């Protein structure tokens, strides 16, 4: 996976980001890791992260002066990787809170490395019993709308673990939406440009009912539904 970059957007992360990056660097020492600090209130975790990593293997840190939203964080990461990693085949995006295991990040990266002509989505199983009900309802309803309107049968449209071909990222840089709806618009644009989308099963991880997540299941799912319906351009 030398030609795959890992992109992690982060807003007010805790020590789980340090644990995630340390494990990534242990298992994938040659894989570049780019982190976007989306205007976090404290720099402590990022300072710890950089101190823990020797200079050659240190993750690249991009900083926003204030919180712009996950969509803007992803776009900043895309632009940086396009500029600095010309031989890269694709980008794996992952959340900063260990909701995605390192093994699953590697799994998505391996698919992308072998066939960098598709978008790969890490698909969670929402039929399990340990998942917050708001997350189940939000994901199932947005998946239903996606199938109804765009004829794409996806089980997990809101997953943050994705494998994206590098030559497709330019299509997403003009998306105006800055919040979580950005990831929905990525799928809609991919559909319009006939980019294949494949779902890869991953572990379904919700730590402490996902209480530290910046995603708000009701309000953000409502925004995503508006995006799917074409109300948000």
Q: What mean pLDDT comes out for the span 19-29?
A: 93
- Strands 4-10 and 119-123, by their bridges, are unpaired
Q: Is the pLDDT of residue 233 over 60?
A: no
Q: How many residues comprise the chain?
A: 233
Q: What is the pLDDT of residue 119?
A: 98
Helices (H) and strands (E) in the chain — how many of each? 8, 7
Q: Which long-range contacts (CB under 8 A, 24 or more apart) does 166-171 make?
A: 166/81, 166/82, 166/88, 166/89, 166/90, 166/91, 166/116, 168/119, 168/193, 168/195, 169/78, 169/81, 169/82, 169/91, 170/82
Q: Which has more confidence, 111 or 158? A: 111
Q: Is the pLDDT of residue 197 over 70?
A: yes
**Sign (positive/negative) of CA torsion 86, 90, 96, 98?**
negative
Order of strands, sheet of 197-201, starting from the edge strand that comes earlier in the sequence: 60-64, 33-38, 4-10, 90-93, 162-165, 119-123, 197-201
User: Coil, helix or strand for 144?
Assistant: helix
pLDDT digits (tens, 9 = 90+) for 99-145: 999 999 999 999 999 999 999 999 988 776 566 666 677 778 888 88
pLDDT digits (tens, 9 = 90+) for 49-90: 888 776 677 899 999 999 999 999 999 999 999 999 989 999
186 and 228 Cβ atoms separated by less than 8 Å? no
Q: What is the pLDDT of residue 128?
A: 64
- CATH architecture group of domain 4-228: Alpha-Beta Complex (3.90)
Q: Is the pLDDT of residue 205 over 50?
A: yes
């Amino acid at each position: 996976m030398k030609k795959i970059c890992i992109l992690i957007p982060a807003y007010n992360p805790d020590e789980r980001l340090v644990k995630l990056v340390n494990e990534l660097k242990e298992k994938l020492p040659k894989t570049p890791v780019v982190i976007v600090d989306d205007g976090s209130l404290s720099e402590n975790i990022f300072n710890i992260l950089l101190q823990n990593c020797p200079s050659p293997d240190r993750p690249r840190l991009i900083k926003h002066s204030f919180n712009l939203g996950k969509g803007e964080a992803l776009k900043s990461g895309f632009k940086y990787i396009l500029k600095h990693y010309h031989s890269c085949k694709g980008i794996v995006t992952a959340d900063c809170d260990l909701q995605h295991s390192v093994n699953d990040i590697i799994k998505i990266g391996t698919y992308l490395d072998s066939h960098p002509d598709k978008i790969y989505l890490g698909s969670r199983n929402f039929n399990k019993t340990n998942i917050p009900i708001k997350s189940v309802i939000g994901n199932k309803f947005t998946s239903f709308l996606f199938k109804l309107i765009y004829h794409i049968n996806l089980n997990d449209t809101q997953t943050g673990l994705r494998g994206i071909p590098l030559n497709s990222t330019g299509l997403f840089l003009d998306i105006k939406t800055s919040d979580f709806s950005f990831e929905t618009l990525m799928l809609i644009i991919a559909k319009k440009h006939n980019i294949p989308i494949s779902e890869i099963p991953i572990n379904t991880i919700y730590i402490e009912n996902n209480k530290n997540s910046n995603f708000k299941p009701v309000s953000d799912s409502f925004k995503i539904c508006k995006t799917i319906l074409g109300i948000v351009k």
